Amino acid sequence: MIVPVMWHPAFPLSLMHKEWESSRRMKYPYKREYDGIAVYHPRISNTKPSRFVKKTYAERYIDAIVNFFAKERIRLDPKTDIFYAQWLPSAGFVQQAAHRLGVKSAVLSIGDDVVVWPQSREDHMRSFKKTVLEADVRFACADYLGLETNKIVGADLPYSVVHWGVDYNFFKPGTDGEIAATRKRYGIPGNKVAILCVGTAIERKGWLDLFDSLATVRRVNENFCLVGIHAGEPAFDLTEEAEKRGLSQHFLNLGS
């Protein structure tokens, strides 16, 4: 798995630009491992001042992917290797990298990547259509999203529906002791219903709607604790938004 991130100089030089400092605070290693899967974070060129940078962000993102395979000396097989990006906004970049390296590309129609993102700007719509039309393989997490994708691009393209699911061999209810230990480890009150929300701290992920809803719930039942987990640069302060709605005693912000 490859997740390109913005390059920044070493501290204290990173303090010379807020974008550099923001990247440094994220502390992405070059490589880490999740559940046995190696995740690499190649750097996207990010020199300053920006006016002297000749390549667009898209071009530098694609370079980061292409250069990764050269650096790691990974040989790709055009017959079997496929580049896939879950989010359509970045799938176009990944698809172009695949074309440069001579392999196939796959795309997924998921949620607001289909029903919100393409309609938000003209260049988004152009990118959406180009990426979907030029994909070698197409998936959708629900049939209506596959149908909507075809409606937007104006073509009857083949796609496979792959529903979201849970591996019950890996995700299963914990024992009373395991649950108690987890609550203790993260400071989740043992006598309250725990509501878990995991997602980027941006408006379209529904955090503010959730806070508004829980403020209404609190009027009739205070026996709950919202546990929030989020990664990336937040668009707003979740703790502050909870406080505005009188939820300070009902919100546990665990961050990344």
Q: Which residue has the higher pLDDT, 50 or 154?
A: 154
Domains of the chain: 5-161 (3.40.50.2000), 176-255 (3.40.50.2000)
Checking DSSP bridges between strand 37-40 and strand 31-34, what pairing results, if any? antiparallel
Cα(1)–Cα(35) distance, integer angstroms: 12
Mean pLDDT estimate for the chain: 93
Cα(45)–Cα(7) distance, integer angstroms: 6
> Does residue 30 have a pLDDT over 90?
yes
Q: How many helices (H) and strands (E) does the chain have?
A: 10, 11
Backbone Cα Rg of the chain: 21
> Does residue 195 have a pLDDT over 90?
yes
**How confident is the model at residue 105, as a pLDDT?**
96
> Does residue 62 have a pLDDT over 90?
yes
**How confident is the model at residue 107, as a pLDDT?**
95
**How confident is the model at residue 168, as a pLDDT?**
84
pLDDT in tens, 32-51: 998 889 999 999 999 998 88
> Does residue 27 have a pLDDT over 90?
no
pLDDT band at 196 (very low <50, low <70, confident <90, very high): very high
> Does residue 232 have a pLDDT over 90?
no
Q: Backbone phi, then psi, for 208, in 5-degree steps? A: -65, -40
pLDDT in tens, 102-137: 999 999 999 889 998 999 999 999 999 999 999 999
Beta strands in the chain (DSSP E): 5-6, 31-34, 37-40, 43-44, 82-84, 104-109, 137-140, 160-161, 193-198, 224-229, 251-255
> Does residue 167 have a pLDDT over 90?
no
